[in-house]
Chain A
Amino acid sequence: MMNKPDKLGANGEVDWQRLRQTLRWSEGFWVTFVFTVSSDVADVLLERIGIEAVDLGSSLEVVQPRSLQELERLPTRLLGRAGASGAMVWWRMLTPGRDWAQKLGECLMRLNERRELLTRRLGAPFIIVLRPEHKPIVRDLAPDLWSIRTLSFDFAPQRRVNADVYRFSPRPDGDGDVGDVGLLEDPIGELFALRRGADLEGVLRAFDRLENAGRLHTKAHLKVLIRWSEGLLEQKDHAFALEKACLAEELASELDPSQLPSIQILKARALLGCGDDNQALPMWKSAVRLLGTSEQEAAAGWLLREGWELYLSTEQAMDEGLRRMKLIRAERIFGVLDEHMTAFTEDIGGISWRWSVLTGLGLCLYMQKRFEDAVPVLLGLWEGSDATQPLVLLNVKPQNEGYIKERVYGVLCHSMIHLGDIERALVFGTLLMYLQNAHLNTVKALNATAVVVDLASALNRDDLLQILEERWLLLWGGYLARQEPDFVDLAMAVNVLLILGRASTEHARRRSLVLEALGYARRLYEERAQPAAFLRKTLEQAAELLPEEAEALQRELEHLDSQTPS
């Protein structure tokens, strides 16, 4: 896993080293507080601590209440354990707002009262990640926990415009430089000029100055708040973005209610970034219906991207708890999109919604080992569409497209195995084998081939032949040959025909399959699509499978060798 030093900054890296050493040296229970406003910083730390936990032979339990109710239940959850699991506990609560702060205080009080029990129940490092403004709450309401802390760490977000960014009241001693005056004359125009110049930092600084100067008329203020929130979202500073969106919502409800749905989408984005899906998704669902078509498409595109980002990040999650949490979150997002899929056109901007949403949902279900739920969703991909339709995904890098396709075939193959449907497992295993050959990924292709052969052994050979003839031969044998396949497909066909031939108990059938493979191999060599080695290998295998042809095939081999030294 990659470290992301740029996310912590120089001071943050020094503090990280201290935290890391504390993790390595401490024994048993200890508590430390990490203060940050940035969920990015928290993510980076979580990843690194996860790696440390593995190195230390421990594990990491991630506790991230997503609703006030969950937060309320947290003390019971932590204190009600049967005994110390020895796993480090990472408790993150970065959601801003008075309700959350109040509930946090109550929660900390309960833990503080039961400090001794907490020590016994956890028996391992307890890392509490909070916002800086929560520090007085900890000090005042959980003085024992605060008092016994090993150390505390303040990680500043790297995006921070300046130290006063938290302040909303006008600054009596504002910067007052010439630039301020210029901006205030045509603030929005200037800001958009900066925006077009891609100077996001400059824009954010300007927003800060504008608001603190307190000289914006209300409509301009609303506009600034919306753009500010958008800018912060781009920087993934979700907590600040949420604050700005909330202020914008208040202003818009007085000035221009027509803007409320799009502001609520902003809020939903920020809330989702803060991990509060329970508020974010219902908000998105209610707001998206009120938007125009293009805005709907943009909102849906964003949510789809969030879903995929979450899903793809599970691949890097070291901790099982964190991985599961991310999967559940991604599943909920795809679920919401699935519900609303009919609201959108089949394709938006060249994006196949059906494929993107169902694939995401299916993969999330599969990763949670919910095979029975995953299979119908993934099989639904083929309903009313061409199975070979390219999968286009938002924010998924081009090289990931094939990867996702492979995942779908692989997932279906494994799900079918789990569900005992060997026949269909074989079909998807073969598809996977084809795809991986097509991507020239020899190692993976061989693995898939091994799966297919293993699966075949689960059936009797007659069944196997029938299945392969009906499905595979149709697909890759006759189909590829007749449809003028590209040479990569044909080379793959040679390999699979040889596998089939080897599996065949009926001599005539074996002979037919092997000779067909030989025909393709010779054609590939003649057309210089494959090297001599490919034909040589095919000839050797054919001689082994067809002893009566061995002599003739040996002569062909010698001839080949005379033309091209091995």
Chain B
Amino acid sequence: MECIATQQERKVDQDQFLRAFFRALKDEPLESDSAKYESLYEDRTLSPSDPVQNMTNCIDFAVLDSVQLFSGFRGAGKSTELRRLRHLLSGIGCKVVLCDMQDFLNLSQPVDISDFLVAVAGAFSEGLQDEALLGDDPAHEGYWTRFTNFLTQTDVAIGELGASYTGVDVKLGLREDPSFRQVLQERMKGHLGALVNDVREFVAQCIEALRRRHGQDTQVVLLVDSIEQIRGTSINSSEVYASVENLFVTHSDKLRFENLHIVYTVPPWLKIRAGGGFVNQYDGFEMVPCVKVFHQNNQRCQEGVEALKNLVRRRGDWERLLGEDGQALEQLIMNSGGHIRDLFRLLRRCILDASNQGHLPVAKQVVQNALDHVRNSYLPVAHDDARWLDRIRETQQAELPRGEELLDLSRFFDTHLVLTYRNGREWHRVHPLIEDHIKQQVQQEARRRAKDTSP
């Protein structure tokens, strides 16, 4: 009886452990003071510099204002790092507004400088309503109302409703109604200068109000998140990409505001499309790469592996789950390519199977099953894609054949078929889980073609 009771206790304890570990792997942005947060930028082997610290320094050292771009791939920890940036900036006395542009713009439509400025000003205005910033300061005029007044003053009629648009209509229209944005963009063409001036005046008034309330030396920072998510459909993709390029390359001057530090998140493909030179128009361009688990010569980067082991340790006792020798965890880490979400997915899968099988640490087969499962989620890969990916595999470069194919390249980045690393310069690698598959697929296809064309 005692033995059975002990077994039951052990089972309950194991279930609790697995459940807690599973829950700790939840995908969510972390605050930098969270117990789960693991700094991945302290070790210079992993990253030549800390992108967030760089951005903080840039703002701290800038005399009046600054504009920086921040980029990174999905799941690399960008949102978490933005929160750390906010934390660091608040620590040096800055007043920070973090706004999510998905609440203000339809991110699948081409973006124009006019509607972008309106959305940024509207987002800034709403962000300032935070009690720690301006709260319900009666002197603070909301931007949406101001913009409708601007339309009236400049006799700009939008659609049949004309000036009867309310602030709420404008906000909704920007986000939900493509035709509204189209008409707005069209009508504002002749009034862009006036609009830019009006937005600048509004921002200046906001900063003045903030400084009145918090001190004249207060530095104000606006973090504009989610712009990197802008993406076209198969129908309008080239138009959307061109619009983003136009916005950040041609209109960089209009994205700068006096006495305001701004950080815009931008898609990683922008640098490839616009060429590296465009970043010189900004005060900084920082990128969050994947955690480097390989060196460029394909050797294991032990520092990266150790960093990820520490990161996992903050979520749960991996030794108990995967074995104290660490081989199974390292196998998962290497196969994740340093893509944290995939690593967490692999771990979750191992935990679920451990729960069903009841053995800890898990058997090798469980680890293999998890790898197969996540690998399958990347497959099948079309032959055309496979050939391109194989070139990337060989050269570790993006190998963009033509500008029109940027959509495909961005798709590779978005879906993590291609991972990006940095050691001073950026280099790419096909996701390790499918690397061999891609190689074999291309070889098989080549053999088949040769057979088909042989006399």
**CB-based contact A116/B102 at 8 Å:** yes
Report the count of interface residues on B (CB-CB < 8 A). Answer: 32
With the chains together, A143 CA to B349 CA distance in Å?
Answer: 20
Known A-B contacts A146-B415, A147-B341; the reply to A113 vs B108 at CB < 8 A is yes
B376 contacts A151, CB within 8 Å?
no
Q: Which among B19, B345, B352 has the highest number of chain A CB atoms within 10 Å?
A: B352
Residues of B within 8 A of A18 (CB): 349, 352-353, 356
B401-423 interface bits toward A, Cβ cutoff 8 Å, 1 = contact, 0 = none: 00000000001001110000000
**Knowing A105-B233, A143-B414 touch, does A113 contact B106 (C-beta < 8 A)?**
yes
Contacts A105-B233, A116-B100 hold; do A21 and B356 have CB atoms under 8 A apart? Answer: yes
A150 contact set on B, CB distance < 8 A:
27, 345, 348
Q: With A18-B356, A27-B23, A147-B416 given, is the CB distance from A117 to B74 under 8 Å?
A: no
- Interface set, chain A 130-189, CB cutoff 8 A to B: 139-141, 143-144, 146-152, 154
**Chain B residues positioned under 8 Å from A141 (CB to CB):** 233
Question: Are the C-beta atoms of A26 and B74 separated by less than 8 Å?
Answer: no
Cβ of A202 under 8 Å from chain B:
no
Partner of A21, one of B26, B74, B352, B416: B352
Q: Please indicate the chain A residues that have their CB under 8 angstroms from the CB of B348 in the complex.
A: 22, 150-151
State the Cβ distance, A412 to closest chain B Cβ, in Å. Answer: 48
Tell which of B26, B103, B106 touches A26, judged by Cβ atoms closer than 8 Å: B26
Known interface pairs A139-B415, A151-B349; A30-B26 also in contact (CB < 8 Å)? yes
Closest beta carbon of chain A to B74's beta carbon, Å: 5
B316 within 8 A of A: no
- State the CA gap A24–B18 with chains docked (Å): 12
Question: A106 near B233 (CB under 8 angstroms)?
Answer: yes
Residue of B nearest to A109 (CB): B108
CA distance A18 to B351 in the complex (A): 9
**Inter-chain contacts of A26 with B (CB < 8 A):** 22-23, 26
**Number of contacting residues on A, CB 8 A?**
34
Judged by a CB distance under 8 angstroms, whether A28 is at the interface is yes
Cα–Cα distance between A154 and B373 once the two chains are bound (Å)? 10
Min Cβ gap B375→A in Å is: 12
**Known contacts A109-B108, A113-B229; is A148 also within 8 Å of B352 by CB?**
no
Q: How far is the CB of B69 from chain A (nearest CB, A)?
A: 20
> Considering only CB atoms, which chain A residue lies closest to B376 in the complex?
A154
Task: Give Cα A149–Cα B378 distance, bound, in whole angstroms.
Answer: 13
- Cα distance, A63 to B74, chains bound together (Å): 28
CB interface residues, A 105-134, toward B, < 8 Å: 105-106, 109-110, 112-117
Bound CA–CA A18/B353 (angstroms): 7
Nearest Cβ distance between residue A95 and chain B, in whole angstroms? 20
- Interface 1/0 per residue, B370-395 and A, CB below 8 Å: 00010011000000000000000000
A residues within 8 A CB of B107? 113
Does B75 lie at the interface of the complex (its beta carbon under 8 Å from any beta carbon of A)? Answer: yes
What separation, in Å, do the CA atoms of A221 and B368 have in the docked complex?
44
A14 in contact (CB, < 8 A): yes
Contacts of B182 in A (CB 8 A): none
Contact partners of A21 in chain B: CB under 8 A: 352, 355-356
- A152: chain B residues at CB < 8 Å are 377
- Within the assembled complex, what's the spacing in Å between the Cα atoms of A139 and B18? 29
Summarize B's interface: helix, strand, loop or mixed.
Answer: helix
Chain A min CB distance to B24 (Å):
10
> Chain B residues with Cβ under 8 A from A116's Cβ?
100, 102-103
C-alpha spacing A25/B18, complex, angstroms:
9
Closest residue to A27 on the B side, CB-wise? B23
Docked Cα-Cα span, A147 to B411, in Å, equals 12
In the assembled complex, the Cα of A140 lies from the Cα of B381 at a distance in Å of 12
A147: contacting residue among B75, B103, B233, B376, CB under 8 A? B75
Are B26 and A117 neighbours in the complex by a CB distance under 8 Å? no
Q: Which of A25, A117, A140, A148 contacts B102 (CB 8 A)?
A: A117
CB-CB < 8 A to A109: which residues of B? 108, 231, 233
Given the complex, which residues of B lie within 8 Å of A113, measured CB to CB? 102, 106-108, 229
Q: A113-B102, A146-B415, A151-B345 are in contact. Are A25 and B233 (CB under 8 A)?
A: no
A151 to B271, CA, bound (A): 32
- Minimum CB distance partner of A119 in chain B: B28
A1-55: which have CB < 8 Å to B? 14, 17-18, 21-22, 24-28, 30
Q: Are A144 and B355 interface neighbours, CB within 8 A?
A: no
Chain A residues near B103: list those with CB within 8 A.
116-117
- Output the least CB separation between A492 and chain B (Å): 54
Contact B19 A115 (CB under 8 A): no
Return B217 CB to nearest CB of chain A, in Å. Answer: 33
How far apart are the CA atoms of A523 and B263 in the complex, in Å?
97
Contact A25 B27 (CB under 8 A): no
A342-393, CB < 8 A from B? none
Closest to A24 in B: B19
Is B356 within 8 A of A147, CB to CB? Answer: no
Complex alpha-carbon distance, A114 and B345, angstroms: 22
Closest to B381 in A: A136
For B411, the closest partner residue in chain A by CB is A140
A74 to chain B, nearest CB (A): 14
Q: Mark B210-239, 1 if CB is under 8 A from A, else 0.
A: 000000000000000000010101000000
- Is there contact, CB below 8 Å, between A22 and B352? yes
Q: A154 to B345, alpha carbons, bound, how many Å?
A: 16
Q: Give a binary string over B83-103; 1 marks a CB under 8 Å from any A CB, 0 the rest.
A: 000000000000000001011
B74 contacts A147, CB within 8 Å?
yes
A105: chain B residues within 8 A (beta carbon): 233
Interface residues of B in 47-99 (CB under 8 A from A): 74-75
Cα distance A146–B414 in the bound complex, in angstroms: 10
A117 to B176, CA, bound (A): 14
Q: Are B415 and A140 in contact (CB-based, < 8 A)? A: yes
Please give me the residue from chain B that is nearest to A33 by CB atom: B377
> Per-position contact with A for B130-146: 1 when CB-CB < 8 Å, else 0?
00000000000000000
- CB under 8 Å from chain A, chain B span 173-193: none
B18 CB contacts on chain A under 8 angstroms: 25
Chain B residue contacts of A154, Cβ below 8 A: 376
Chain B residues whose C-beta falls within 8 Å of the C-beta of A112 in the assembled complex: 229
For B355, list chain A residues within 8 Å (CB).
Answer: 21
CA distance A463 to B237 in the complex (A): 78
Per-residue contact bits, chain B 15-32, to A (CB 8 Å; 1 contact, 0 not): 000110011001100000
> How many Å lie between the Cα of A148 and that of B103 in the bound state?
19
Q: How far is the CB of A266 from chain B (nearest CB, A)?
A: 31
List chain B residues, Cβ under 8 A from A144. 74, 229
B100 engages A25 (CB within 8 Å): no
Give every chain B residue within 8 A of A148 (Cβ-Cβ): 27, 75, 341
Cα of A27 to Cα of B26 in the assembled complex, Å: 8
A-side contacts of B75, CB under 8 Å: 147-148
Q: Which residue of A lies closest to B413 (CB)?
A: A143
Which chain B residues border A149 with CB–CB below 8 Å? Answer: 345
Set of chain B residues within 8 Å of A143, measured between Cβ atoms = 74, 231, 411, 414-415
| Chain B proximity of A79: nearest CB distance (Å) | 10
Docked Cα-Cα span, A81 to B352, in Å, equals 32
A130 to chain B, nearest CB (A): 13
Residues on A with C-beta less than 8 A from B27 are 30, 148, 150
Within 8 A of A (CB), among B101-145: 102-103, 106-108
Q: Is the CB of B102 within 8 A of A115?
A: yes
Q: List 21 A-B contacts (CB under 8 A).
A: A18-B349, A24-B19, A25-B23, A106-B233, A109-B108, A109-B231, A113-B102, A113-B106, A115-B102, A116-B102, A116-B103, A140-B414, A140-B415, A143-B411, A144-B229, A147-B341, A147-B416, A149-B345, A150-B345, A151-B348, A151-B349
- When A and B form their complex, which 10 residue pairs have the shortest distance between CB atoms, in order from nearest? A143-B414, A18-B352, A113-B107, A147-B74, A25-B22, A25-B19, A139-B415, A148-B27, A21-B352, A17-B356
Taking Cβ atoms with an 8 Å cutoff, the residues of B that contact A are: 18-19, 22-23, 26-27, 74-75, 100, 102-103, 106-108, 229, 231, 233, 341, 345, 348-349, 352-353, 355-356, 373, 376-377, 411, 414-416
Q: A17-B356, A105-B233 are in contact. List 9 more A-B contacts (CB 8 A).
A: A18-B356, A21-B355, A25-B22, A113-B106, A116-B100, A140-B411, A148-B75, A151-B345, A154-B376
